[in-house]
């Protein structure tokens, strides 16, 4: 979350947060809502779910590249590709779908800030 915050992402859009039990090192995931902040003495830590990250990734870039998610073997591939041909703008892949989505979103944030998509 710190890395996304440094990239300018509003972490208040996260739908979950981690709450640490008092006098323990155990954390529990709870909805990021009023309850989370009512428990502020337990130091809530905002966190994005997989769905949060996927919804932050734009469905189209440059009006021609479309976002796709595929499972190929034991890897998840997330890519921006041009419909109807093999032209791919960017691909992120991992055994873990959340890691691949995170990598794609970080790529988008970095590229967007430097290229003005």
Per-chain mean pLDDT for the chain: 83
Q: Using 50, 70 and 90 to split pLDDT, how confident is the model at 70?
A: very high
Q: Write out the residue range of the structural domain in which residue 70 sits.
A: 58-115
Structural domain count, the chain: 2
pLDDT of residue 117: 47
In a domain, 53, yes or no: no
pLDDT of residue 64: 83
Same domain for 44 and 68?
no
The reply to whether 6 and 33 lie within a common domain is yes
pLDDT at residue 115 is higher than 70: no
Same-domain check for residues 69 and 104:
yes
Q: Do 71 and 23 reside in the same domain of the chain?
A: no
CA dist., res. 20 & res. 108, Å (int) = 32
Based on the fold, state whether residues 62 and 99 are members of the same structural domain: yes
Same domain? For 23 and 64 the reply is no
Structure tokens at 99: 């890691």
Same domain, 64 and 103: yes
Percent of the chain with pLDDT over 90: 31
Q: What is the pLDDT of residues 29-61, one digit of tens each?
A: 777 666 555 555 667 788 899 999 999 888 888
């Amino acid at each position: 979350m710190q890395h996304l915050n440094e990239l300018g992402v509003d972490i208040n859009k996260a739908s979950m947060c981690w709450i640490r039990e008092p006098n323990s090192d155990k954390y529990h995931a709870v909805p990021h809502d009023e309850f989370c902040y009512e428990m502020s003495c337990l130091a809530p830590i905002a966190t994005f779910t997989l769905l949060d990250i996927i919804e932050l990734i734009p469905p189209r870039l440059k009006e021609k590249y479309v976002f796709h998610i595929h499972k190929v073997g034991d890897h998840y591939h997330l890519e921006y590709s041009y419909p109807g041909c093999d032209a791919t703008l960017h691909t992120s892949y991992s055994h873990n779908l959340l890691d691949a989505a995170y990598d794609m979103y970080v790529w988008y944030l970095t590229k967007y800030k430097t290229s003005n998509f």
